[in-house]
Structure formats: structure tokens, C-alpha cells
Structure 1
Amino acid sequence: KHGRLDALVNTVGGYAGGATLWELETKVFDQMLELNLRSGYALSRAAVRAMLKQGRGAIVNVASKAALDHAAGAAAYAASKAAAVAMLDSLAADIRGTGVRVNTILPSIIDTEANRKAMPNADFRKWPKPEDIARVILFLCTEEAKVIHGAAIPVYGDS
């Protein structure tokens, strides 16, 4: 009905931290899973069906450095991002050889106004800019990246 689907970029996500696991409210844990895991599940599930039919496409999920580098007080966030990486890695294995590519990027703290306000004493110069993240995503959606599949790519800037 709408033509082909060339790319899906999942940037849905959120952060809640500052509580130890034993202080973490179940509601907050569930919110992190909903935002950071279920969104990627729903979007990828819908997109991959169309992409498999056409024999091509690129899915890029934005996870976080926290998926691999777990900080204190961020159990729900780290768990949800790590689960998202594992889910997309499994999807990549499921569709290997179909012409559809799946990759995840793992940015560190991104230089946004919200992050600057949340961490006013941080060295913002070390954080990747949104446009740096966008360039990596755009590249992964192009034919030039056709040999990259099933990767979790760090985008840390100088942090």
C-alpha cells in the first residue's frame, strides 16, 4: 500500500536511575522495560516482516553504552538496554542471509540539553553530539554498510 520500507531506526528510549536494585520500584523497572525493550520489539517485529518480503532493509536500534558498562544505581536502565542488545542480536541471527541487516549502536551520554541540565558538572565536550550519532545511523542504513550485520557498535565520543 505504501511502497517499500528501507530502514527502521528505533530511537525510542528513556532513562531512570539513581536507585539501588533493592530500592528500585517495580513500576520504574517496568517503565524501563517498556520504553527500552518492548518498543524495539514492537517496531522491529513489524518492520522485519515487510523487509523480509522485499528481500532488503536495515534496522538500527539505539541502545546504550550502559548495556555493556553497568553503572551503580542504574539496574533497570542497564538491564533494559542489555536485553535490547540481546534481542536484536538474536533477530540478526534469525535473518542472516536474507538481505535485511540488523545492528545496534551503543552511544555513551549524548550531548543534549536535557543531559547537560541533568549533569551540569560534566565535561560535555567529551560526549558525542546528536549529529555524530545520526551520521553513524545514516551510514548503517546505506548500501555502503551492507557488510555490517549483527553488530553492536560503540559510539562513545571521547568519554
Structure 2
Amino acid sequence: MSDTPPVPVEGTPLPAYPYGAAADAQGSPAGMPPLANWGWRALSGLIDAVIIFVPNTVVYRTMHPYAAAMTEMLIALAITVVYAWMEGRTGQTPGKMVVGTRTLRQADGGLLGFGRALGRRLLHILDLVPCYLGLLWPAWDAKRQTFADKLVSSVVIKP
């Protein structure tokens, strides 16, 4: 039997992973799959960023600069909302699907839901403010969380 959690189906809850105070030697909470390391998180983020970059580059090269700026912001906003919807519903964005990671609630291992996932996406702005320190934070944090993850109580796992 596989150790990876099942792919969620609409209306079917994910198995609950108890998130107690106990942790294994790698810092993973008791009962949770292993936490994703910084490299997997960075790779999935890079893939997601490229998906936003490609249409924005096409727009930038084909439109008047003022129209392009507005269109690029709308594209980025639309993709952010779609990513939040995907992550809230399945725990994964396209980048996370490629590398095999998933974002779950810290407390019980359930899916974030759209609101929390959108909040997490928007709160990533705080990760950028102090010289991108929040994006590097998972490299040494015990729970491998960014500032946004800490604020919405989420963890990224690599089953």
C-alpha cells in the first residue's frame, strides 16, 4: 500500500494528519508526511512563476506600454485567484503537481479551502518585504514555513 495521501475528490475529505507537539528527527509533525524542503518549494514556486511570466511577456511585447501594464496586472491577479482555488481545493498548484508537494492545514492536515489559500497567496507579499527573507525562511525553520504559512497555519508536505 502506498504511503502517499490520496488525491482528494470533491466532497471527500483528506485523511486527517494529527499535528501534535511531537515531531520526528526531521522536524515533521507526528502522523504527517514529511515536510517539503526548501528546494522542492523553490522549484514549484519557480514553475508557477514561469506560468505567469509567459503570458505577461507576450502581452508586454505586443501591446502599448500603458495597456500592457494594466493587462499584466489583470493576468497576474487572475492566475493568483486560479492558483488559490486549485490550492484550496486540491492542495496543489501546477508547480506543486510537477514536484509532488501539497499545501495542507497545519492543525489537521486538511485542505486549506479557497479563502485561506487566497490569503496565503496574498500574504506572500510579506515574504518579499524584508529582502526576500520570508522566501528563504523555510530553509532553516523547524516547520519549513514561510511567513505567510505561519500566518495562515499551513505546511507544505512532500509525500
TM-score normalised by L of structure 1: 0.31
Return the structure number with greater helix share. Answer: 2
TM-score normalised by L of structure 2: 0.31
